[in-house]
Structure 1
Amino acid sequence: MTYNSIRPGKTWLDTNGKPIQAHGFSVFYNEEEKLYYWYGENKEKSKGGPFNKVWHWGVRCYVSRDFYNWEDKGLIIPPQPDDLHSPLHPTYCMDRPHIIYCEKTKKYVAWLKIMAGEVSQFMTIMQADSFMGPYEFVHKIYKPLKMDAGDFALHVDKETKKAYIFFERPHFELITATLSDDYTEVNGEFSEHYENLLPPYTREAPTFFEHNGRKYLFTSGTSGYFPNPSQVAVFDEYHVEYTDLGNPHVGDDTNTSFNSQITSVIRIPGKELYVACADRWKPGKMVTKMAPQIINGMKKHFADYKPNREPLEAQPLPGTLQKHSENTKKSTYVWLPIEWEGDKPVIRWRDEWRMEEFD
Structure 2
Amino acid sequence: MNRNGQKWYTKSGNPIQAHGGMILKYEEKYYWYGENKGAPNVEGLTRVDFIGISCYVSDNLFDWEYLGLALEAEADKNSYLHPSRVIERPKVLYNKKTKKFVMWFHYDTADYLYAGAGVAVSDTPQGSFQLVKVIKPNRKDCRDMTLFEENGKGYLIHSSDFNKTLYISELTEDYQDVTGLYTKILIDQEREAPTIFKANNYYFMITSGCSGWSPNAALYSRTSHLFSPAKLIDNPCEGPNYRKTYNGQSTFVFERNGDFYLMLDHWVPNNLQESGYSILPVSVNNREITVSWTEFPFTKN
Identity across aligned pairs (percent)?
Answer: 29
**Structure 2 residue aligned with 1:45:** 39
CA distance in 2, matches of 1:216, 1:51: 34
CA distance in 2, matches of 1:213, 1:187: 25
Aligned-pair Cα RMSD in Å: 2.1
CA distance in 2, matches of 1:55, 1:196: 31
CA distance in 2, matches of 1:223, 1:128: 35
**Structure 2 residue aligned with 1:241:** 229
- Per the normalisation by structure 2, the TM-score is 0.92
CA distance in 2, matches of 1:116, 1:353: 36
Quick check: 1:97 aligned with 2:85?
no
CA pair 234-85 structure 1, distance change in 2 beyond 3 A: same
CA pair 51-332 structure 1, distance change in 2 beyond 3 A: closer
Task: Give the secondary structure class of the aligned counterpart of 1:257.
Answer: helix
Aligned counterpart for 1:177 among listed residues 154, 163, 169: 169
Task: Give the secondary structure class of the aligned counterpart of 1:17.
Answer: coil
CA distance in 2, matches of 1:53, 1:242: 33
**Structure 2 residue aligned with 1:278:** 264
Structure 2 stretches of 5 or more lacking a match?
none
**Structure 1 residue aligned with 2:147:** 154
CA distance in 2, matches of 1:67, 1:263: 17
Contact 1:44–1:56 (CA under 8 A) maintained in structure 2: no
- Once the two structures are superposed, residues 128-150 of structure 1 have per-residue CA deviations (whole angstroms, 9 ceiling, x without a partner) of 222222322221x2000111100
Count residues in correspondence: 299
CA distance in 2, matches of 1:247, 1:223: 16
Task: Give the secondary structure class of the aligned counterpart of 1:328.
Answer: helix
Contact 2:219–2:233 (CA under 8 A) maintained in structure 1: yes
Q: How does 1:183-332 map to 2 (within 5 A)?
A: 183-197=175-189, 202-253=190-241, 255-269=243-257, 272-282=258-268, 326-332=270-276
Question: 1:51 Cα deviation (Å)?
Answer: 7.8
User: Greater relative contact order (Cα 8 A, min sep 6): structure 1 or 2?
Assistant: 1
Structure 1 stretches of 5 or more lacking a match?
283-324
Aligned counterpart for 2:281 among listed residues 328, 333, 337: 337
- Once the two structures are superposed, residues 105-141 of structure 1 have per-residue CA deviations (whole angstroms, 9 ceiling, x without a partner) of 22211112112134421111111222222322221x2
Q: How does 1:120-131 map to 2 (within 5 A)?
A: 120-131=114-125
Contact 1:208–1:216 (CA under 8 A) maintained in structure 2: yes
CA distance in 1, matches of 2:126, 2:293: 34
Task: Give the secondary structure class of the aligned counterpart of 2:138.
Answer: helix
**Worse-matched range after superposition: 142-151 or 6-15:** 6-15
CA distance in 2, matches of 1:275, 1:196: 28
CA distance in 2, matches of 1:51, 1:206: 24
Aligned counterpart for 1:145 among listed residues 133, 138, 141: 138
**Structure 1 residue aligned with 2:109:** 116
Q: Based on CA coordinates, which of the two structures has the bigger radius of gyration?
A: 1
CA pair 337-356 structure 1, distance change in 2 beyond 3 A: farther
CA distance in 1, matches of 2:16, 2:79: 26
**Structure 1 residue aligned with 2:78:** 85
Question: 1:47 Cα deviation (Å)?
Answer: 2.9
CA distance in 2, matches of 1:40, 1:230: 21
Higher strand fraction (1 or 2): 2
CA pair 196-266 structure 1, distance change in 2 beyond 3 A: closer
Contact 1:113–1:149 (CA under 8 A) maintained in structure 2: yes
Task: Give the secondary structure class of the aligned counterpart of 1:105.
Answer: coil
Contact 2:199–2:284 (CA under 8 A) maintained in structure 1: no
Contact 1:9–1:280 (CA under 8 A) maintained in structure 2: yes
